[in-house]
Amino acid sequence: MEPRIVLFEDHLLDDMTPISLTRPAFAVTCACYTLWDVARAAGGTVSWIVREHLVKTTAHQAPRPELDSSAPLLFLNASVVPDIRYAGTVRELWERGEPFVATAGSRVSAALVPAGTALPAVLTAEGVTPWLLEMKLPLHEEELFRTLDHQFEVVKYLEPLFAENLAHRVRTGSYQEVAPRVYTADNVSVARTAVLRTRDGPIVFEKDVEVADFAYLVGPVYVGARTRVIERASLKEHVCIGETCKIGGEVEASIVESYTNKQHHGFLGHSWVGSWVNLGAGTSNSDLKNTYGEVRLEFPHRRVETGMQFLGSIIGDYAKSAINTSIFTGKIIGVSSMLYGFVGANVPSFCNYARSFGQITECPVDQALLIQKRMFARRGITQTPEDVALMKDVFELTRSERLISDEPPAL
């Protein structure tokens, strides 16, 4: 029999904002894999339980087999770090069949629910962890899985995971090694003048990738299907680009999710950038403090020590930056926000942030939807009622974030 895996979200996702506002935690890319990919690599069937506002859009993208306890079910927290080595752990735990519950910090990371267990009629994201703990399954002595507890950890885990995850892709995918440690899928075009350095890691291009003249890539680098690397772009070490992106300027140790444009010059370093983001020409972020000290994240009423010397920005889906936007070290930019000038503070979702010009205003959800529709059309995608509903839900979910911000928008 094949493993039966259930990826479940829990109630501890607030600190993953804005990354997890618009996608399930198992769909967050880190080092060229999501946890969904890792679970699929374990073999068998993968089902999921996500927060209510994500159910419909997730169902469009991932099949959801009915939960059935005729065989043991391996519940895996959707926030588990997408480390491909966990695929083997998951499979082994399922095959061993011994019931357990494992924790990581303050959350349940995994549990093996024995066959024949009566499943609740409805299992919600808030309900899974209490249900698993109330069953009093044996507490596993080891931590087993690490979890992404804060948004900045997506960047923190990028480098440690990159080598193994990329090597697994190369081993299991259909690529040609067109040059030493340069792997390409079908129909990849790399300009003769492009420079590809692979001494410290491989470079992998998915199908239909175009790499333009004078691009300079230093592995390990992963570039998703249909993405265009613009002329003179510089992608340096631990760069992971999604599908259908346009990437220019200088990018270092960063993740860019699909359908995002960073077409022009400007530096992006040690950052995570969501989908459908557009960074205008000259947009740059800082990833190192002048003091060379640890980067701390500032939130209303609390400060989070990251333990990282290099940390750039976390930029939510649909965010846009104007020309020459400068984002300070370790700033969190919310979903559908628009940036102008200097960005010296975290920006809540749905904000027009033009602090340099004295203005921070709320970005109406209707405007965000109009922009979404226009962007989708450029990529041949139709805006669905589910897309609209998700945007409106996220707008409501982030209302309080705008109100308690250090610099609340003028409403």
225-254: contacts with other proteins (CB under 8 A): none
Give the span between the Cα atoms of 50 and 405, in whole angstroms. Answer: 27
Residue from 6, 108, 363, 391 in contact with other proteins (CB under 8 A):
108
Distances (CA, A) of 78 to 5, 60, 251, 281: 11, 18, 28, 35
- Opening angle at CA 109, ends 108 and 112, nearest 5: 90
- Non-local (6+) Cβ contacts of 191 within 8 A are 211, 212, 213, 214, 215, 231
Pick the closer one to other proteins by CB: 216 or 299: 299
* Two tokens, residue 168: 């697994």
103 near other proteins, judged by CB under 8 A = yes
- Non-local (6+) Cβ contacts of 286 within 8 A are 312, 326, 327, 328, 329
Residue from 105, 120, 293, 364 in contact with other proteins (CB under 8 A):
105
Other Cβ atoms less than 10 A from the Cβ of 402: the count is: 22
- Non-local (6+) Cβ contacts of 367 within 8 A are none
Q: Identify which range of 89-97, 127-135, 283-291, 357-365 contacts other proteins by CB under 8 A.
A: 127-135
133 near other proteins, judged by CB under 8 A = yes
Q: How many residues bind other proteins (CB under 8 A)?
A: 13
- Burial level of 408, CB count in 10 A (0-12/13-18/19+)? middle
136 near other proteins, judged by CB under 8 A = yes
The count of C-alpha atoms lying within 13 angstroms of the C-alpha of 61, restricted to the half-sphere facing its C-beta, is 15
Q: Identify which range of 98-106, 117-125, 155-163, 206-214 contacts other proteins by CB under 8 A.
A: 98-106
Pick the closer one to other proteins by CB: 126 or 186: 126
Q: Identify which range of 70-78, 106-114, 215-223, 231-239 contacts other proteins by CB under 8 A.
A: 106-114
Give the span between the Cα atoms of 179 and 198, in whole angstroms. Answer: 9
User: In the bound complex, what is the minimum distance in angstroms from residue 147's beta carbon to other proteins?
Assistant: 11
Pick the closer one to other proteins by CB: 138 or 364: 138
Residue from 70, 121, 134, 380 in contact with other proteins (CB under 8 A):
134
Give the span between the Cα atoms of 92 and 194, in whole angstroms. Answer: 43
User: In the bound complex, what is the minimum distance in angstroms from residue 40's beta carbon to other proteins?
Assistant: 28
Residue from 106, 356, 359, 384 in contact with other proteins (CB under 8 A):
106
Pick the closer one to other proteins by CB: 108 or 240: 108
Binding-site ranges for other proteins (CB under 8 A) = 103, 105-108, 129-131, 133-134, 136, 139, 143
